[in-house]
Amino acid sequence: MKKILIILIVGIFITSIISVSSLSDQYADAGSRKKIHFTQTISSSQDPGLEHENHQLAFVLSPNEGTLYDGSMTFTSSEYVNIVVLHEINPNDVHGQDTWTVNENIIYGLSLIDPEKKSGSFEFTGAGLALHSSNSKEFTTTVSVDGWIRGQPTQVLEQKFEFKKENPSLLLSRANVPVTIPMHHGIYNGDEVFYILTDTSDEDYVNIISKKQEWNIQLSKTIKEISHSNIQKFFVFKNGI
């Protein structure tokens, strides 16, 4: 009887450990995921990938180091296109598989989904998602995406800037204020860039990103109401981007 009781207690204890571990994994996974769903019309541009200069490409979900997208996409296009899914890959792991890169510093595994079509639906998992045409004619596509972003950019770089205060209303003993701002590494229009995060319109991201980069960002809900034509401004620093 005692042996049976001991076995039952051990069994319950092990089951409890497994349950707690499973719940912890679920909470950890939930904390690193962000829901995405949108419909957007995109115009293609010249494919920035090496040896793809005569092709056209329209990024639906741009690659960002340490981020994985998964979900489904439905699209319609003015030209016949392939679906492109990119995968993070270590250069040392390239052994003949198809790849895509803009400068050979960062290389992505390339899944080019055939055949070309003007509309369709597709389930995807990867570090980036795009539509691709093998000719040089620009195309326009409308896409609907429903899925998840998993993880955050893993590479955070720190860069020190000095901001000069011009025409101060008060005389300061020190006019140059040094500020250390975390920088992130990503790709914009096919080019590698370093960028800083200072504001977001998403309340969930305020705490997630602030904690991740150890530098607080501000909640600015009005950002999402700004028209696309008014947000194409980049502040370039001599020793930054």
Instruction: Check: CB of residue 82 under 8 Å from CB of residue 141.
Output: no
Ranking 24-38, 68-82, 156-170, 190-204 by mean pLDDT, the lowest is 156-170
pLDDT tens-digit series, residues 174-184: 444 456 677 77
Among residues 134, 40, 124, the alpha carbon closest in space to that of 86 is found at 124
pLDDT tens-digit series, residues 18-33: 444 444 444 445 447 8
Check whether 38 has a pLDDT greater than 90. Answer: yes
Cα–Cα distance, 241 to 239 (Å, whole number): 7
Tokens of 221: 């809900």
What pTM was computed for the model?
0.54
Domain boundary assignment for the chain = 35-150, 156-230
Q: What is the fold, at CATH topology level, of the domain defined by 35-150?
A: Jelly Rolls (2.60.120)
Q: Tokens 């079509």 label which residue?
A: 117
